[in-house]
Structure 1
Amino acid sequence: MNHVPTLNDRLQGSAGYQLWESTLAEQCGAFHPEPPLTRGIESFEGAILPAHAAVPGYAGAKISTNCPHIHRSVKDIKRDGHDFFYIVHQLTGNAVMDHCGTQSVLNPGDLILLDSSRPSDFYFSGMSEQISLLIPRHKLENNVQNTKLILNQKICSNSRIGAVAGFITNQFFIDTDNVNDLEGVTEALISLIRPTFTSSDNKPSTYNEKIQKSYFEKAQRCIEAMLSNFELSPEMIARELGTSKRTLHRIFAQNGLSIGRYILDRRLDKCASEFESESDIQKISAVAFAWGFNDVSHFSRAFKSRFGVSPRGFRSKAALPEGSLN
């Protein structure tokens, strides 16, 4: 009978540290843990329990460690290419989180939202235990027009939302063979926390802001009309709008976006929409080419980064009949 790992399976010393670090990278992405300062790596203690991976596109782990500092740099981000949000739930011990120019102090039960595409630093005092869940970017970004996501703002454990959200995160570590149950749990968690982690700016716009908004909306319409063009570029869009490429980049930056990333995401969203709704199954490469991709390998990597699952896996899941477990 195979042994099922638990947090009671303690990892110690240099061998335990190496196994713990590699498992952390597999489940949550590339991070640099710093061993305890007292006796170095030989004094390391920790454990890691992967979340159930039954739901395509989701991952994560329940993590305990006595490392005083764990960080994720720009180099790590480029190396693993992960493009998710992290929901971090502090279970025991305390942590300080530096992310996006802000700092949060996490007490047991608190939750925060982080972006895997931005650097982060965790600081711990003594042994600490957390849950880290990876949520595909589109799950939180969809249906939040005219709003922005607030990162590194905690939901306190003593709030009703915090108590319920904390309960839900633990469900990913309870044995179940029912994929639909886990998908329902995930949707419930996202619906619960989204209002707390989004904000809208309703203050009156200045004349310049109105002009910039108009250019931004024109640029979006221009991009939508030319997504299938392999040669679509910021230069082409700037010419269509009668503005400079520098101004175009600035307008997108003021909306928290990169124009290149925006074009890529819109193409990926179009492909995903076709995979979900197409009646005649086309080759994946044909769908990719139809929406402006000219490199199938690049498309597959970008699609998995955005949606957490390969194009083939996404289409197979979308084709399953309602209520199917496989």
Structure 2
Amino acid sequence: MEVAEVRTTSAGPDSPRAAAFSTVGLPAAQRLEKWEAYNASALVALACRTINGAPLEATERNLWLPHVEVAQVTGTPHVVERTARQIDRHPSRAVVLYLAMAGEAFFYHDDGVRVLKPGQAVLCDADVPFVRGFAQGLTELVLKVPRPVFDGLSEGTALRTPRVFDIAGPAGAGGHGYALARRLRSMVRGEAGEDRQLLERELLGLLRTMVCGARAGDTRSQLHAAQAFVERDLTDRNLSAARIAAGIGISERQLSRIFSEHGGVARWITDRRLDRAKAMLAAGDDRLSIGEVSHECGFASQSYFARVFKQRFAMTPLEFVRGARS
């Protein structure tokens, strides 16, 4: 098999090493071979075939941290298989978390078939054969963790069969899974900073909490999960500390503790709403009134919005709009 070229970049000595590859623009007859070669060198070796005979259009972006690997994969409809022969030739010695962002997929394993929808994730041992199919194409995030690292963080939780998580649901795993997905997405977009050690600790802390339960996570993981929960439900005027705590599986007291350095839970929610409202007002969309912006950002009333906006930015929303448009 020909080894695909890997285009790598690195912003600095402490930043993650990055690579990217796409079949778009390659001769149709070479696409599957080069896609397989790239994945074998950059992530997990897989056999690939298209469903309808159309040339595969797929793109992958990869980041390498000290121990774990991160990727974002997009592609047109196709099927991939991790065969016993590939495992023998290209052992991964890792577990892999696939987080579906778009496109329904099936996951076939020796213990059965699972259908994964966007907002779900599957965690599996990459050295056990499986087949995955994407009839609608896919967009997914991937986290690859060496098995010794996973064994250490999972606190003895064995991965005998694949595990499926709802990363967009209201349950505790959903809150941490959602936070993990947001963090992975920001990383592949280059928005997560350059401290490789810190990024890896955050990812592993969130994964540990997903696998073992919220109380096993460290406070940083709980904070990221809570902040992600807030971002997801920011426009809901009924968003409360009790709901956030229940959503990520911790007590209200613990939630208050982890937000103590950020002015408290209510302050954090208000500030995030104000940030969003200010951005909307600055965008100058004449179709939205100040009252509609207030409603869209989850404020209980326009008068309350105006009051806290002035407290934060030393001007009323109307004064800000006039200044932004002058």
TM-score by length of 1: 0.52
Closer, same or farther in 2 for the Cα pair 1:7/1:161, shift >3 Å? farther
Deviation beyond 4 Å, 4+ runs, structure 1: 2-9, 143-147
Identity within the alignment, %: 16
Q: Deviations over 1:246-302 (max 9, x none)?
A: xxxxxxxxxxxxxxxxxxxxxxxxxxxxxxxxxxxxxxxxxxxxxxxxxxxxxxxxx
Other-structure match for 1:228: none
Other-structure match for 2:141: 131
- Equivalent residues of 2:73, 2:141 under 8 A apart: yes
Closer, same or farther in 2 for the Cα pair 1:66/1:144, shift >3 Å? closer
Matches within 5 A, 1:61-80: 61-80=71-90
Other-structure match for 1:160: 175
Q: Whose RCO is larger (CA < 8 A, sep 6+)?
A: 1
Q: Deviations over 1:187-233 (max 9, x none)?
A: 22222222169xxxxxxxxxxxxxxxxxxxxxxxxxxxxxxxxxxxx
Matches within 5 A, 1:1-326: 10=24, 13-39=28-54, 43-50=55-62, 52-53=63-64, 55-142=65-152, 147-149=157-159, 151-156=161-166, 157-158=168-169, 159-175=174-190, 176-195=193-212
Any idea what SS the aligned residue of 2:80 has?
strand
Structure 1 gap segments, 5+ residues each: 198-326
Any idea what SS the aligned residue of 1:82 has?
coil
Structure 2 gap segments, 5+ residues each: 1-6, 10-18, 215-326
Q: Deviations over 1:29-83 (max 9, x none)?
A: 21101123234xxx22111111x21x22222421112242100011110101221
Any idea what SS the aligned residue of 2:113 has?
strand
Any idea what SS the aligned residue of 1:151 has?
coil
The count of residues paired between Structure 1 and Structure 2 equals 191
Closer, same or farther in 2 for the Cα pair 1:146/1:165, shift >3 Å? closer
Q: Report the residue type matching 2:86 in the other structure.
A: D
Closer, same or farther in 2 for the Cα pair 1:147/1:30, shift >3 Å? closer
Any idea what SS the aligned residue of 1:117 has?
coil
Any idea what SS the aligned residue of 1:154 has?
strand
- Equivalent residues of 1:36, 1:44 under 8 A apart: no
Any idea what SS the aligned residue of 2:101 has?
strand
Closer, same or farther in 2 for the Cα pair 1:196/1:88, shift >3 Å? farther
After TM superposition, the structure 1 stretch with the greater mean CA deviation from structure 2, 129-138 or 172-181, is 172-181
Other-structure match for 1:316: none
How far apart, in 2, do the equivalents of 1:118 and 1:3 lie? 29
Q: CA deviation at 1:140?
A: 2.3
How far apart, in 2, do the equivalents of 1:195 and 1:106 lie? 21
Q: Deviations over 1:133-189 (max 9, x none)?
A: 210112222265664335322111223233223223324314232222222222222
How far apart, in 1, do the equivalents of 2:25 and 2:32 lie? 7
Give me the CA root mean square deviation.
2.9
Q: Report the residue type matching 2:59 in the other structure.
A: A
Q: Report the residue type matching 1:45 in the other structure.
A: E
Other-structure match for 1:262: none
